[in-house]
């Protein structure tokens, strides 16, 4: 410690609340006892019931591939098989039956007759669509050609030929005659691109759709925000992803269940915001939404735009509570919520690849925020607050100090963290000297200019003859 710190001999010991600079917006002085979720296995039936279309099937297959519970795996595969047989994707059906490996009995063995029937109907349907499209091209009717390509896109999409579906949807672009047609083309291209995990295309078609604002109704705007948020999430641009998810309006409802549902908006947006927003942004964009009576700063346009996010958070109380705990500096409770949520989050088709990174960033932010107000911190008490060992905490703090995220040094013998506060006196002197030098320079420049004018030493541009 420097001289002033030694003289003052301050030992502001860290306690379990961690030094919050303000009272939480949605808490009273006596904190409620909130139950921690039990971390029970995912209710697959309830989860799958939220979604429709191919994403429902893909999420079930993903759960079966990534869970370590054989009973959960078979249940997911059974539901996926049942859902596939409501459609026309025989290739995906064969893949699921192969994964089941006869473990669900004769009813879930390969149904060759069903596959043959579906494929025969597909060939007949394709021939009919080709005949109709050729007729439309001959007659040069733009609207009919657009609808023909759109029907082809729907056909390929239903049968799992996503590349061909994307090409067909994009071909409608040259035959779009209204802004609504362009929006429809963009949404179809976005849907297929998300399933093909080609998020560069998603961003491109979101931008294209946003260039026709006159055709954007609130539900469509919400869908585009969701798609943009997923693209930023995939690119690990968590701050941009959080902003997009926070912009989603309640008009979304269940209208985009073939891609995402409101519970996902709350979870993705909340975790990305915790990992990337600083304390001020978190207060202005999320914690204000948790207050029944929004404070005065909620007049900011950004907060007004995001006020509906409070209703999304109500659908996922665990995410709402862990955000509130983080802001209130109840880190042990926050990290416990995160720990209980983790087994289900790693089964999410969009979030699984980011869970570890998000969790690390949230924990690091909690450690930084905990130490910020103090001159010195007892690491034993800090370890107790974070439910970890002193040795483990020391390693985490070393990494943050090395990465220059915490300005401090560790007394490893006494297990105390000392802050390296900037020398305010020296910094003030330096600012005064800089200001004086700038003033001297400006005065000299003004005197020089005044003398030049006094002696008529003006530089005139030579005239061109």
User: Is the four-CA dihedral 262, 263, 268, 270 of positive or negative sign?
Assistant: positive
Is 151 exposed, middle or buried, given 0-12, 13-18 or 19+ CB atoms closer than 10 A?
middle
What pLDDT sits at residue 28? 35
SS3 31: coil
- Residue carrying the six token digits 């672009």: 173
- pLDDT at residue 383, rounded to an integer: 87
Please tell me the predicted confidence (pLDDT) of residue 62. 95
Place of tokens 């069903």: 114
Q: Which two tokens stand for residue 406?
A: 């915490």
Residue (of 313, 326, 249) closest to 282 by Cα position: 326
Which residues have C-beta within 8 Å of that of residue 118, sequence separation ≥ 6? 88, 90
Question: pLDDT at position 187, please?
Answer: 95
Main-chain phi, psi angles of 404, to 5 degrees? 65, 25
pLDDT value of position 286: 56
Distances in Å between the alpha carbon of 32 and those of 245, 294, 320, 321? 28, 20, 14, 11
Q: What is the pTM of this model?
A: 0.77
| Residues 288 and 297 sit within 8 Å (Cβ to Cβ) | yes
**Predicted local confidence at residue 419, as pLDDT:** 81
Place of tokens 């305010």: 424
pLDDT, residue 4, reads: 41
Q: Which residues pair with 419 in a beta bridge?
A: 408
Whole-number pLDDT of residue 265? 93
Query: Among candidates 320, 307, 228, 230, which has minimal Cα distance to 266?
Result: 320
CB count, 10 Å around CB of 357? 12
Question: Which residue is associated with the tokens 């657009």?
Answer: 146
Number of alpha carbons in the 13 Å side-chain half-sphere of residue 452: 10
Residue with tokens 């759709």: 209
Question: What is the three-class DSSP state of 419?
Answer: strand
- The SS3 assignment for 237 reads coil
- At 368-377, the pLDDT tens digits run 888 887 888 8
> What is the pLDDT, as a whole number, of residue 39?
52
Which distant-in-sequence residues (6+ apart) come within 8 Å of 180 by Cβ? 215
Residue 126: the pLDDT is 93
Buried b (16+ CB within 10 A) or exposed e, 445-455: eeeeeeeeeee
Residue 417 pairs with which residues in a beta bridge? 377, 410
Question: How far is 17 from 48, CA to CA, in rounded Å?
Answer: 39
Site of tokens 């409608």 = 172
**Ranges under pLDDT 50 in the chain:** 1-38, 290-306, 465
Q: What are the domain boundaries of the chain?
A: 426-460
pLDDT given at position 29: 35
H-run or E-run covering 378: strand 376-378
CA distances from 378 to 267, 374, 388, 419, 421 (A): 34, 10, 14, 12, 17
**Contact of 401 with 410, CB cutoff 8 Å:** yes
Give the pLDDT confidence score for residue 41 in this predicted structure: 74
């Amino acid at each position: 410690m420097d001289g002033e710190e030694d003289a003052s001999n301050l030992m502001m010991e860290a306690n379990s609340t961690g030094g919050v600079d303000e009272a939480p917006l949605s808490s009273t002085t006596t904190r409620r006892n909130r139950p921690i979720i039990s971390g029970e296995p995912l209710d697959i039936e309830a989860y799958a019931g939220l979604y429709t279309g191919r994403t429902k099937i893909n999420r079930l297959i993903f759960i079966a591939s990534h869970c370590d519970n054989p009973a959960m795996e078979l249940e997911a595969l059974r539901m996926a098989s049942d859902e596939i047989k409501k459609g026309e994707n025989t290739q995906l059906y064969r893949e699921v039956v192969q994964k089941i490996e006869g473990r669900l009995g004769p009813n879930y063995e390969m149904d060759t007759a069903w596959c043959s029937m579906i494929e025969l109907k597909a060939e007949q349907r394709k021939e009919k669509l080709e005949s109709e499209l050729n007729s439309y091209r001959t007659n040069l009717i733009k609207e009919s050609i657009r609808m023909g390509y759109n029907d082809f896109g729907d056909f390929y999409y239903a049968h799992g030929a996503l590349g061909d579906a994307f090409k067909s949807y994009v071909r409608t672009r040259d035959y779009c005659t209204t802004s609504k047609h362009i929006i429809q083309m963009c949404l179809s291209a976005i849907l297929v691109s998300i399933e093909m995990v080609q998020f560069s295309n998603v961003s491109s078609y979101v931008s294209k759709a946003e260039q026709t604002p006159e055709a954007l109704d609130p539900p469509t705007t919400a869908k585009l925000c969701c798609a943009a948020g997923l693209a930023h999430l995939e690119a690990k641009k968590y701050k941009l992803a959080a902003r997009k998810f926070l912009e989603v309006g309640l008009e979304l409802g269940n209208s985009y269940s073939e891609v995402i549902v409101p519970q996902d908006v709350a979870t993705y947006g909340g975790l990305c915001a915790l990992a990337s927003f600083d304390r001020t942004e978190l207060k202005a964009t999320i914690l204000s939404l948790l207050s029944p009576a929004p404070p005065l700063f909620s007049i900011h346009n950004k907060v007004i735009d995001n006020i509906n996010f409070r209703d999304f958070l109500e659908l996922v109380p665990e995410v709402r509570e862990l955000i509130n705990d983080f802001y209130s500096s109840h880190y042990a409770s926050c990290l416990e919520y995160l720990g209980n949520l983790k087994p289900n989050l790693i089964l999410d088709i969009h979030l699984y690849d980011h869970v570890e990174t998000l969790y690390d960033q949230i924990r690091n932010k909690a450690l930084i925020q905990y130490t910020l107000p103090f001159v010195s911190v007892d690491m034993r008490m800090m370890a107790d607050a974070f439910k970890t060992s002193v040795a483990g905490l020391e390693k985490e703090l070393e990494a943050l100090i090395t990465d220059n995220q915490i300005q401090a040094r560790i007394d490893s013998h006494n297990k105390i963290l000392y802050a390296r506060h900037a020398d305010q006196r020296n910094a003030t002197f330096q600012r005064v000297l800089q200001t004086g030098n700038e003033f001297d320079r400006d005065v000299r420049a003004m005197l020089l200019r005044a003398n030049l004018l006094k002696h008529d030493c003006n530089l005139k541009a030579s005239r061109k003859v």
